[in-house]
């Protein structure tokens, strides 16, 4: 299983862009990179998923270099409500279904 490494915590002021980088050195050829957000006492919520280069949706962008050994989640102009734990995951296809293994996550604290 591809292991992910990301910073334990980050602080940011409101309105700033936040970039969270994750390393996944032994990612397999067909694995996808997925990011989830989790608020306290809630289940994780899907943010974005990508395979290579850049993916953008209404809430975030995901940058993946050519070697795919790392990825960066970019949150534009964060607000206080973005304070949460962000998990970088490598989606493993195990026996035909999706098995998701969580790393430590990055606790983002947005400061007024």
The site for another protein (CB under 8 A) is made up of 30-32, 34, 36, 41-46, 49, 51, 87, 91-94, 96-105
Nearest-approach distance from CB 12 to another protein, in angstroms: 20
Separation between Cα atoms, residue 75 and residue 95, nearest integer Å:
33
Separation between Cα atoms, residue 75 and residue 63, nearest integer Å:
11
Nearest-approach distance from CB 59 to another protein, in angstroms: 13
Q: Which of residues 41 and 81 has its CB atom nearest to another protein in the complex? A: 41
Structure tokens at 50: 């990508």
Separation between Cα atoms, residue 40 and residue 109, nearest integer Å:
13
| CB-facing half-sphere around the CA of 50: CA atoms within 13 A | 24
Q: Which of residues 30 and 81 has its CB atom nearest to another protein in the complex? A: 30
Nearest-approach distance from CB 82 to another protein, in angstroms: 18
Nearest-approach distance from CB 2 to another protein, in angstroms: 11
Q: Which of residues 79 and 93 has its CB atom nearest to another protein in the complex? A: 93
| CB-facing half-sphere around the CA of 37: CA atoms within 13 A | 16
């Amino acid at each position: 299983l591809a292991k992910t490494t990301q910073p334990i915590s980050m602080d940011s002021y409101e309105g700033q862009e936040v970039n969270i980088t994750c390393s996944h050195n032994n990612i397999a050829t067909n694995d996808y990179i997925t990011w989830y957000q989790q608020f306290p006492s809630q289940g994780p919520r899907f943010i974005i998923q990508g395979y290579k280069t850049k993916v953008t949706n209404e809430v975030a962008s995901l940058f993946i270099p050519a070697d795919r050994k790392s990825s960066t989640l970019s949150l534009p102009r964060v607000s206080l409500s973005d304070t949460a734990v962000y998990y970088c995951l490598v989606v493993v296809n195990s026996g035909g279904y999706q098995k998701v293994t969580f790393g430590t996550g990055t606790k983002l604290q947005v400061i007024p």
